Structure 1
Amino acid sequence: MVKVSFYYQTNNIVRAEVEGHSNFDQVGKDIVCAGISAVVFGSLNALDNLVSQAEVKIAQSDGRIVITVLKPTNDNQMILKTMLWQLKTISDQYVKNISIKEVY
C-alpha cells in the first residue's frame, strides 16, 4: 500500500510524505502505481520549476519522497493541494492500494 501523509501548520501544508508500493498488479502493469507516480512526479516538477528552492526542500530515496515546505506561498500551497486532491481521487477508487492521512 502507498501511504501518503500531509502535515499542516496554520492551514498550510508544511510537509508531504509518499512511501510504499500499491501492489495493485505486477510491475509494468500497475495502473494505480502509474497514476500515483504521475501525480507525485508532476507535482515535484511543478515545485522544481515554478517555485523558489528557498521555499521547498525535496528528498527522494528508494520508495519514499518527502517534501518539506520552508516558506509557505500561494504557489507552493496550490501545487501541494492539487496533488492532495488528485491523490484523493485515486484513493476513492483504490482504497486497498493507497491511504491518505492529513495531520493538523
Structure 2
Amino acid sequence: MTSVRLFLEAGELVGLEAQGHAGFAPRGRDIVCAAVSVLVQTLELGMEDVIREPSLRIQCDPRKALRRVIWKRSDDPRVTALGETIRLALKAVAEAHPKQVCIVEVERDEANS
C-alpha cells in the first residue's frame, strides 16, 4: 500500500510525504503507483521549475520508496492552486483505489515544521 500524508497548515497544503508501493500490479506495471508518483513529481516540478518556490525542500529515500515535498505557507495563489490541485488528484486516486492508497491529513503548526 502507498501511504500519503498531506501536511496542512491552517487548512492549506504545505507538503506531503508518499511512501510504499501500491501493490495493484507488479512493480513496473502498477498504474496506481505510477499515478501517485506522477502527481508527486508534478508537484515537485511545479514548485521548483514553474513557481520557483524558495522554501521548497525535497527528500527522497529509494530504499524506503519515500518522497517528501515540503514548503512554507505562502500568499502566492499559484502555490495554493498547485497544492490544492495535487491534493484533490491524490484523493481521487485513493477513492478509486482504497486498497492501494491511504491518505491521511496532518495539521501542523509552524513550531512542528
Q: Determine the structure 1 residue equivalent to 2:71.
A: 69
Q: Determine the structure 1 residue equivalent to 2:100.
A: 97
Shift of 1:98: 0.3
Post-superposition CA distance 1:8-37 (Å, at most 9, x none): 122222221111110111122211111111
Residues 46, 82 of structure 2: 8 Å contact kept: yes
Shift of 1:82: 0.9
Q: What does 1:1-104 correspond to in 2, within 5 Å?
A: 1-62=1-62, 63-72=65-74, 73-104=76-107
Shift of 1:89: 1.0
Residues 7, 13 of structure 2: 8 Å contact kept: yes
The residue identity in structure 2 corresponding to 1:93 is A
Identity %: 22
TM-score by length of 1: 0.88
Give ranges in structure 2 of 5+ residues lacking alignment.
108-113
How many Å separate the matches in 1 of 2:13 and 2:42? 18
**Structure with the larger strand share:** 1
The residue identity in structure 2 corresponding to 1:66 is R
After TM superposition, the runs of 4+ consecutive aligned structure 1 residues lying more than 4 A away are none
Give ranges in structure 1 of 5+ residues lacking alignment.
none
TM-score by length of 2: 0.82
Residues 56, 71 of structure 1: 8 Å contact kept: no
